[in-house]
Chain A
Amino acid sequence: MDDVANADVVLITGSNITENHPVLSAALKRAVRHGRPDGHRARLIVADPRKVGISRHATIWMRPTPGTDVAWINGMAHVILRENLHDAAYVAERTEGLEALRDSVASFTPEYVAAVTGIPAEQVEAAARLYASGRALIYYCMGMTQHVSGTDNVKALANLAMLCGNIGRVGGGLNPLRGQNNVQGACDMGGLPDKLPGYRNAADASARQSVENAWGTVLPDTPGMTSRAMFHAMETGAMRALYLVGENPMVSHANLAHAEACFDALEFLVVQDIFLTETAMRADVVLPSACFAEKDGTFTNTERRVQRVRKAVEAPGEARADWEIILDLANRMAAGWRYDAPEDVMREIARVTPSYAGITYARLEQEGLHWPCPDAGHGGTPILHAEGFLRGRGLFHAVDFVPPAELPDAEYPFILTTGRVLYQYHTGTMTRKSRGLAAREGACFVEMAREDARDLGVADGGMVRVASRRGEIVVAVRVSPKAMPGTVFIPFHFAEAAANRLTSDAADPVAGISEFKVCAVRIAPATADSE
């Protein structure tokens, strides 16, 4: 994260960084406003439909219509290639597929991009020139990935980064911002249907063999289901039992009415959590867990830095750490596991996971280590692909613009996009218990542009009914200069007015991520007679 100071240009898109990753945003703002001691300063390009806080610091702020990202990204690549601004030596030496990229972006002229995205043609050109003017770093977040075109969005950004030689370089890179403390670690540890610990393919017999040897067991060779596929299987009856840890899909899933039907169809649901969440209330068994301050372990942050979590206080009542619960359950099911403490588990992780092989609690005592850390003498890897791409050469992917699954129409004329606010976090199970945070931001709202509020005849603070094809909620209006006319924003923290009653569960075909960022809604004043 300190590397942001070394960038000449930073492109940030689909991330409301000042509210969702505030401490990283401070580093970015320092890089832009104050720069390094030697006077080097970064210039900032922001692409976001909302006038998010970081746009104040931008040299260029582009405002695309939600869901049109591939178009402006391809448009920037188009301009860079047209004006020969790319890093030809890097492209020749370290990548392949440039001609396919050239063909795929040929039609994305700035004029075409302007027509699709609403970004003025000259702004796309200026952004492309600025991006190509030096070492450039990209940050992106769920505003890129929570679309039916999410994978394409990221591929398009990767094209841009490789085109200008920005992968594997100090001050460069393509950096996803992880929304939760240990998304990175959950993935690293094999919390994915197709991946064993360390991202080895579950479908690969030799990868399975090495884990089987370590565990002394036989691993299933049938492909697993993503959480999205699991919900579908719950509905059809193919999945009968679900064991769910530390997640609240009854607030966080897209299209809650559908999620509700899926849970209703389950035969047996176990929820392991620190609170009786909306999801836990539906469980057959609820297991109380310890929170982060009540246990030892490690989290891996968004930059792959493995860091210690330390027990500071005892868990309340009979609550137990998640690792103790699962250990006890596994042994009840004849697993014969023996771990006395989380450190024992880390020793096994290091044995089984090549990228964590050199990580021990002793080495994490003072500060974290970036994986890959293949042995005890290795100092960790802050920058990936520095010596070359994992697959050999970086491959350009031709990606085309695909519009969102649901667009506004006469009946549902507004685009709804969802996200978080500074003072709350996710489904609010933790932050809403804090009186201070609740006092700052305690209830749901719909953020809209002044002209939209005027056309609807609603005032700031007035209650409106927001409805989509899937559900409706009643929320207060917040008139804000952040909102783009025609697009409204609702935070998803608040169960009693859950934004995800409205959202669409149309999903990216590759990643299975739902399109939380675009669906069509209609809005009307919530008067007594409309009740």
Chain B
Amino acid sequence: MSNTLTLNGAVCTFTPGETILDVARRNHVDIPTLCHLKDTVPTGACRMCLVEVKGARALVASCAAPAGPGMEIETESQRVVRSRKMNLELLLASGSHDCLLCPASGDCTLQALAFRYGAGGTRFARRRPAHAPDASNPFLIRDFSKCILCGRCVQACKEVQVNGAIDYGYRGAATKIVTRNDLPLGQSDCVFCGECLQVCPVGAIALADARKKPRQCDMTAVRSTCAYCGVGCQVDLHVRDNVVHMVTGADAAPNHGSLCVKGRFGYEFIRSPERLTAPLVRRDGELVPATWEEALDVVAERLGQVKAQHGADAVGVLTSARCTNEENYLIQKFARAVVGTNNVDHCARL
């Protein structure tokens, strides 16, 4: 039999090894997921991606089930929808899923699916949180009352960043995502790459100061390149009212969504009150504010003087590995074509 199956009545081809979910996504059929994390081993934990396969006794977790020849798959049948809705009601009753006070509102998969399937969170009595939130570090808050135990954070830590700082702990209703010895994150092996923050589908992991910022859905993302090391991670700078409030990893080469602690959390310098905001010129031994006109005139004049008296090679230019290509190009062009010296170098040697 050829490698084809039908998906909601449409014939689709597949490559052996693909899951039903892979085939659906490739064909723009939207099967909802909560626990599925790209490039990790599927766990089938959340049961949201259940689909109906003709002839199968039970509903099938499409993230883990391999596509098979001749399968007839329904992704939104009555049975599937009923199952998803029940599942959502149970998740909504499992903790404090209160969208009004949640920093993830607008970017929450659980919220979006509750809306999509009309699950109001009123069917079952809400459970009381079993674990207190962890705010032991300057970067992240773990609010266990919002955790749906999908395990994406565990997979991100173990399989994507390969840090292994967190895992499932305890049993049954007391199950919790824990660090080694259940220490607070701030005292654990965690290196605060924030991969878990980025993959959390709900508001269980949030920025420590999320309440002081706009919600992510109220910000505009600007794609750029991280300015720290030479890896060149692709980032989204989340901006509102001329302020970068948050940085996330973009799903593109070379980082495929990942970042490190500096790239993700080291952006406060951008609006530091210590930033230089006006040119300074030394007068009577003191650096005092000046206009651009004044400052650049001093520079042009003094460089011109040194060149006239001692030759162009008495001037040196150190360009910067922190600046853009365009700027480096202009700065070396300035040294060579305007000052007239090859004395141009930068800090590659540091």
Instruction: Specify whether A and B are partners.
Output: yes
A227 located at the interface, meaning its Cβ lies under 8 Å from any Cβ of chain B in the complex: yes
Question: Residues 297-330 of chain A: 1 if any B CB is under 8 Å from the residue's CB, otherwise 0?
Answer: 1111111011111111110111111110111111
Q: Is the CB of A435 within 8 A of B230?
A: no
**How far is A287 from B223 in the complex, measured between Cα atoms in Å?**
27
Q: A80: CB under 8 A from chain B?
A: no
Q: Which of B193, B279, B322 has most A Cβ within 10 Å?
A: B322
Q: Which of B162, B330, B334, B336 contacts A219 (CB 8 A)?
A: B336
Query: Which listed segment binds A: B72-80, B112-120, B174-182, B269-277?
Result: B269-277
A72 CA / B18 CA spacing, docked (Å):
46
Q: Nearest Cβ distance between residue A345 and chain B, in whole angstroms?
A: 4
Is B304's beta carbon under 8 Å from chain A? Answer: yes
**Most chain A CB atoms below 10 A, which of B224, B239, B259:** B224
Let me know if B292 is at the binding interface, CB within 8 A: yes
* Contact B191–A22 (Cβ < 8 Å): yes
**Which of A191, A227, A283, A367 lies at the interface centre, i.e. has the most chain B CB atoms within 10 A of its CB?**
A191
Q: Is the CB of B329 within 8 A of A349?
A: yes
- How many angstroms from the CA of A368 to the CA of B193 in the assembled complex? 23
Chain A residues within 8 Å of B82, by CB: none
- With A309-B224, A422-B191 as contacts: A189 and B253 at CB distance below 8 Å: no
Number of interface residues of B (CB under 8 A): 109
Beyond A186-B348, A308-B225, whether A243 also contacts B315 by CB under 8 A is yes
**CB-defined contacts of A426 to chain B, threshold 8 Å:** 350
Interface 0/1 of A198-241, CB less than 8 Å to B? 00001000000000000101011011111110100110001111
B212 at interface, CB cutoff 8 A: no
Whether the pair B223, A422 counts as a contact (CB closer than 8 A) is no
Task: Say yes or no: B320 contacts A246, CB within 8 Å.
Answer: yes
- Contacts of A391 on B, CB cut-off 8 Å? none
Tell me if A268 and B254 are in contact (CB < 8 A): no
Known: A23-B259, A180-B347, A243-B303. A293 touches B230 (CB 8 A): no
8 Å CB contact of A313 from B239, B269, B323, B326: B239
Report if B131 contacts A (CB, 8 A).
Answer: no
> Counting CB contacts under 8 A, is A437 at the interface?
yes
**Shortest Cβ distance from residue B209 to the other chain A in the assembled complex, whole angstroms:** 9
User: In the complex, are the beta carbons of A191 and B337 less than 8 A apart?
Assistant: no
**Is B99's CB within 8 Å of the partner chain A?**
no
Q: Tell me the complex Cα distance, A69–B7, Å.
A: 60
A29, A180, A227, A345: the one contacting B345 at CB < 8 Å is: A227
In the assembled complex, the Cα of A319 lies from the Cα of B255 at a distance in Å of 31
- Tell me, in angstroms, the Cα distance from A311 to B281 when the chains sit together: 28
Chain A contacts for B232, CB-based, 8 A: 181, 299-303, 305, 307, 368
> Do residues B244 and A197 form an inter-chain contact, with CB atoms below 8 A?
no
CB within 8 Å for A431 and B262 given contacts A182-B322, A182-B325, A240-B314: yes
The answer on a CB contact under 8 Å between B322 and A181 is: yes
Q: Of residues 143 to 159 in B, which have CB atoms within 8 Å of A's CB atoms?
A: 159
Please indicate the chain A residues that have their CB under 8 angstroms from the CB of B213 in the complex. none
Cβ of A253 to closest chain B Cβ, rounded Å: 7
Q: B277–A317 contact, CB under 8 A?
A: yes
Taking a contact as CB atoms under 8 Å apart, the answer to whether A317 and B326 are in contact is no
In the assembled complex, how far is the CB of residue A9 from the closest CB belonging to chain B, in whole angstroms?
A: 18
Residue in A closest to B241 when the chains form the complex, CB atoms: A313
For the complex, what is the distance from the CA of A319 to the CA of B280, rounded to whole Å?
A: 11
Taking the complex as formed, is A281 at the interface, i.e. its CB lies under 8 A from any CB of chain B? Answer: yes
Q: Check: B328 CB closer than 8 A to any chain A CB.
A: yes
Q: How far is the CB of B313 from chain A (nearest CB, A)?
A: 6
On whether the beta carbons of A225 and B343 are closer than 8 Å, the reply is yes
Stretch in A269-277, A452-460, A462-470 touching the partner: A269-277
Q: Does A385 contact B (CB under 8 A)?
A: no
B287 lies within 8 A of chain A by Cβ: yes
Q: Does A292 contact B (CB under 8 A)?
A: yes
Q: Of residues 263 to 306 in B, which have CB atoms within 8 Å of A's CB atoms?
A: 263, 265-272, 274-282, 287, 292, 295-300, 302-304, 306
A186 touches B330 (CB 8 A): no
Taking the closest CB of chain A, its distance from the CB of B229, in whole angstroms, is: 5
- Residues of chain B within 8 A (CB-CB) of A342 are 324, 326-327
Residues of A within 8 A of B304 (CB): 333
| B interface SS class | mixed
B residues within 8 A CB of A439? 137-138
Report yes or no: A268 in contact with B242, Cβ–Cβ below 8 A.
Answer: no
A49 within 8 A of B: no
In the complex the two chains form, what is the Cα distance from A286 to B282 in whole Å? 9
CB-based contact A186/B225 at 8 Å: no
Contact A431 B345 (CB under 8 A): no
Query: In the complex the two chains form, is A284's CB within 8 Å of B282's CB?
Result: yes
Among candidates A224, A335, A513, residue contacting B342 with C-beta atoms closer than 8 Å: A224
A437 touches B277 (CB 8 A): no
Across the interface, do B266 and A437 meet the contact criterion of CB distance under 8 Å?
yes
Known: A181-B230, A188-B325. A252 touches B316 (CB 8 A): no
Contact, CB under 8 Å: A215 / B224: no
Alpha-carbon gap, A325 to B278, bound state (A): 12
CB distance from B122 to the nearest CB of A (A): 39
**In contact, B347 and A247 (Cβ under 8 angstroms):** yes
- B253 near A285 with CB under 8 A, answer no
Q: How far is the CB of B283 from chain A (nearest CB, A)?
A: 10
Q: In the bound complex, what is the Cα–Cα distance between A234 and B322 (angstroms)?
A: 24
Does B237 belong to the interface (CB within 8 Å)? yes
Q: Which residues of A contact B239 (CB under 8 A)?
A: 312-313
A193-B343, A223-B342 are contacts. A215–B328 as well, Cβ < 8 Å?
no
Query: A286-B279, A301-B232 are known contacts. Are A22 and B193 too (CB-CB below 8 A)?
Result: yes
Q: Most chain-A Cβ atoms within 10 A of its Cβ — which of B274, B280, B328, B345?
A: B328
Tell me, yes or no, whether B233 is within 8 Å of chain A by CB. Answer: yes
A247 CA / B317 CA spacing, docked (Å): 11
Residue of A nearest to B342 (CB): A224
The reply to whether B274 and A433 form a contact with Cβ atoms under 8 Å apart is: yes
- Tell me the complex Cα distance, A248–B100, Å: 46
Residues on A with C-beta less than 8 A from B344 are 190-193, 224
* A174 contacts chain B at the CB level, 8 A cutoff: no
Known: A191-B332, A284-B282. A182 touches B324 (CB 8 A): yes
Looking at the assembled complex, report how far the CB atom of A486 sits from the nearest CB atom of chain B, in whole angstroms. 26
Contact between chains at B333 and A215 (CB < 8 Å): yes
Question: What is the CA–CA distance of A307 and B304 in the complex, to the nearest angstrom?
Answer: 36
The answer to whether B253 and A436 touch across the interface, beta carbons within 8 angstroms, is no
Given contacts A21-B230, A23-B258, A233-B316, 19 further A-B contacts (CB under 8 A): A23-B254, A180-B322, A182-B230, A190-B332, A215-B337, A245-B331, A287-B299, A291-B227, A300-B232, A302-B229, A308-B224, A321-B327, A328-B296, A330-B338, A425-B229, A426-B350, A435-B138, A436-B139, A439-B138
Interface of B toward A, CB cutoff 8 Å: 137-139, 159-162, 191-193, 208, 222-234, 237, 239, 242-244, 252-255, 258-263, 265-272, 274-282, 287, 292, 295-300, 302-304, 306, 309-310, 312-350
Write 22 A-B pairs (CB below 8 A) sorted by A numbering. Answer: A22-B193, A34-B162, A179-B230, A180-B347, A181-B228, A183-B321, A193-B343, A224-B344, A240-B314, A242-B316, A247-B321, A273-B276, A292-B227, A293-B270, A301-B230, A301-B232, A307-B234, A308-B224, A349-B325, A422-B191, A425-B266, A436-B265
Binding site for B on A (CB under 8 A): 1-2, 18, 20-24, 26, 29-30, 33-34, 57, 177-194, 196-197, 202, 215, 217, 219-220, 222-228, 230, 233-234, 238-247, 249, 252-253, 267-268, 270, 273-276, 280-281, 283-289, 291-303, 305-314, 316-323, 325-330, 332-333, 335, 337, 339, 342, 345-346, 348-349, 366-368, 422-423, 425-426, 429-431, 433-437, 439-440, 511-514, 516
